[in-house]
């Protein structure tokens, strides 16, 4: 879960996705100001629709409702919030 724009997050906190071949265990959920982040190539990304609307941004990232985010959180083994 990314709550700040990716360019604001300290370098080294996110893994180097360019060197990882199997992203089946990884996806990024953009929340709050994180929804203004650019798409990370080769990594599934989603954004909370209410945060996208509130910030009046456009994105090509699939949007999720609150209910879908909760469902996603229960379907994963681990959650990291940045």
Identify whether the C-beta of residue 24 lies closer than 8 Å to the C-beta of residue 43. no
Radius of gyration, CA atoms only, the chain: 12
Identify whether the C-beta of residue 50 lies closer than 8 Å to the C-beta of residue 63. no
pLDDT tens string 18-74 = 555 555 667 889 999 999 987 777 778 899 999 999 999 998 899 999 999 999 888
- Long-range CB pairs of 70-75, under 8 A, 24+ apart, other chains included: 72/29, 72/46
Instruction: Name residue, tokens 């100001």.
Output: 33
Rounded (5°) CA angle 16-65-5: 35
Does the predicted TM-score (pTM) go above 0.85? no
What is the model's pLDDT at position 37? 85
């Amino acid at each position: 879960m990314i709550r700040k724009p990716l360019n604001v997050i300290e370098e080294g906190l996110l893994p180097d996705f360019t060197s990882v071949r199997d992203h089946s265990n990884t996806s990024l959920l953009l929340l709050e100001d994180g929804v203004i982040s650019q798409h990370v190539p080769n990594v599934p990304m989603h954004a909370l629709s209410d945060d996208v609307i509130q910030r009046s941004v456009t994105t090509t990232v699939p949007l999720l409702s609150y209910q879908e985010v909760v469902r996603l959180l229960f379907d994963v083994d681990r959650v990291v919030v940045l």
